[in-house]
Each structure stands twice: as structure tokens, then as C-alpha cells.
Amino acid sequence: MGIFKHEDMLMDMSISSRTKLYKDDKLLFIGDGYKAITIMINSSKNQEPVKEKFHKQLNMRERPKFSKSDDIEALRKQALDDHAKNLSTKKKKKSR
């Protein structure tokens, strides 16, 4: 993806697995690109250029939106039950 400069920060995304974020020419962060983007946004005075540049990455990590009619607790219980069923079927297959 390359290098992105904003205010007194520089983000080096040339290595996809290790993004480096510098502030005032000092290393601030090495690691996940999404985390580096959020740090850059939170550290910026003018956040809009950063949000515009990384709009796609930020939207990919958007939290799931539930409608008001969804019962989140019921969905959580259903997910746990499904997970438990999957675990029990895997154990049965291994024991045979």
C-alpha cells in the first residue's frame, strides 16, 4: 500500500504484515494495519483525510448492526448452542 503522510505522522504500509507508524520521526507503533490506522485517526487534529484515505479498511471492520427487533441475547444463546453441537460432533468423530 505504500507510505501515507498526515500532519506530523507517517504510516509505512509497504510490508503488509507489519505496518509502522511514526510520529515526529519517532516510531510509535509496529503491527496490524487497522490498529495503526485507528491510532493515526485518534492522534490527528484533522481526522477526515485519514478517514477518507482508509475508508474501505474502516468499513470492513465495522461492527455488526442488529435491528431493534433482533433479540441479541437469543442470538448469543443460539450461537453458543450451535458451537456446543459442533464440538460434540467433532469429539464423536475422533472417538470412532
Report CA-CA distances (Å) from 14 to 36, 40, 64, 75: 13, 17, 30, 40
pLDDT digits (tens, 9 = 90+) for 39-75: 999 999 999 999 999 999 888 876 666 666 677 788 8
Of the chain, the percentage scoring pLDDT greater than 70 comes to: 83
Average model confidence (pLDDT) across the chain: 86
Band the pLDDT of 31: cuts 50, 70, 90: very high
Amino acid, res. 81? D
Q: Is the pLDDT of residue 95 over 60?
A: no
Residue extents of the structural domains in the chain: 3-60
Chain centre to alpha carbon of residue 84:
27
Report CA-CA distances (Å) from 20 to 1, 67, 82, 95, 96: 12, 38, 39, 47, 49
**pLDDT of res. 66:** 65
Instruction: Give the residue among 78, 66, 38, 30 at the shortest CA–CA distance from 54.
Output: 38
